[in-house]
Amino acid sequence: MSLMRGSAEGLVLGVALDALLGDPRRGHPVAGFGRLASRLERLVYRDSRAAGVLYAGVLVGGAVASGVILEKVARGPWRVALTAGVTWAVLGGTSLGREGLAMERLLEDGDLEGARGRLSHLCARDPKGLDEAELARATVESVAENTSDAAIAPLVWGAIGGVPGLLAYRAVNTLDAMVGYRNARYERFGWAAARLDDAANWVPARLTGMLVALCAGRDAWRVLRRDGGNHPSPNAGRCEAAFAGALGVRLGGTNSYGGSVERRPGMGDGRAPEVRDIGRAVRLSAAVTFAAAALVWGAR
């Protein structure tokens, strides 16, 4: 029981550190992992699923092994400190909120070019030609989806697997962001990373939807149940539908990704998102993160 309590303390302390400090400004371990992954990609890339399985297996397996070694070295109070530090490093909830609010400020100032340039910090959507309403929708949708990826999923895997779980999840999610695309280069090579990310986020995305409903009320739950499966992603729709119901807006529509156009069914019954809804989405994302931390603390 003491080990479980220490893990919960470390996870909750990591959430507090992220809330206070955001991401480390220099020497971020996730950025270091990304550079390592890029080097390995240059060495092993082939237009095949087998090469992608090898690539993802080596990197995710290495992350798990590193976590196991770190936990063996850290004992007693050091285990709590280790868990807190790793949780802080892999969480991105505060930085997500800051990016959302930066977009809100640019749009409030009428700086569409600045907002288009900033959108890449939140998602891979092509910003060219997007107007204020489309930029606001893209931001709200990104905050909703990334509440799971950046905050809830790391806590779920940290609660399940400790430091190895935290590192494994962030490795999987980072690889998906790097190679998990359906384009000519990555459709086969990135298949394993994309499927791993889908599997790793299946439970966290649905937990995120339920936590949004817990924080925001019945409309979020109703839209989650009705529209959560409309999205082409098996996970993102659960988060976006819940946020749509909670905020009283309608999400979904036509999106462009590097020349590929996706037309997604609508989620929610309300009006189109406006600039003011970005701040509401950021505050809801933070509330959901703290609710997840409270669950971790209660489950210890």
Question: DSSP per residue over 70-103, as a string?
Answer: HHHH--THHHHHHHHHHHHHH--HHHHHHHHHHH
- Residue-level pLDDT at 58: 97
- Residue-level pLDDT at 230: 87
Residue 109 amino acid letter: D
Q: pLDDT grade, residue 94 (50/70/90)?
A: very high
How far apart are the two ends of the chain, measured CA to CA in Å?
Answer: 8
Is 0.95 topped by the overall pTM?
A: no
Q: pLDDT grade, residue 4 (50/70/90)?
A: very low
Whole-number Å distance between alpha carbons of 269 and 260: 27
Question: DSSP per residue over 152-213, as a string?
Answer: IHHHHHHHHHHHHHHHHHHHHHHHHHHH---STTTTTTTHHHHHHHHHHHHHHHHHHHHHHH
- Residue-level pLDDT at 156: 95
Residue 37 amino acid letter: A
Whole-number Å distance between alpha carbons of 112 and 138: 13
| Angle of the 2-21 helix axis to the 77-90 helix axis, nearest 10 | 40
Q: Which two tokens stand for residue 203?
A: 């439970």
Average the pLDDT over 49-62 and give the result: 97
Whole-number Å distance between alpha carbons of 43 and 231: 35
Q: Residue 222 to residues 42, 125, 147, 242, 243: CA-CA distances in angstroms?
A: 46, 28, 19, 8, 11
Average the pLDDT over 172-187 and give the result: 92
- Neighbouring CB atoms inside 10 A of 43's CB total 7
Average the pLDDT over 255-264 and give the result: 71
Q: pLDDT grade, residue 242 (50/70/90)?
A: very high
- Residue-level pLDDT at 7: 87
Q: pLDDT grade, residue 15 (50/70/90)?
A: very high
Per-chain mean pLDDT for the chain: 92
- pLDDT of 88 above 90: yes
- Residue-level pLDDT at 5: 42
- Residue-level pLDDT at 18: 95
- Residue-level pLDDT at 142: 95
The tens digit of pLDDT for each residue in 125-160 reads: 888 889 999 999 999 999 999 999 999 999 999 999
* Residue located via tokens 């309608």: 250
- pLDDT of 40 above 70: yes
Average the pLDDT over 163-187 and give the result: 94
- Rg (the chain; Cα; Å): 19
- pLDDT of 173 above 50: yes
Q: pLDDT grade, residue 3 (50/70/90)?
A: very low
Q: pLDDT grade, residue 2 (50/70/90)?
A: very low
Within 13 Å of residue 19, how many CA atoms lie on the same side as its CB?
15
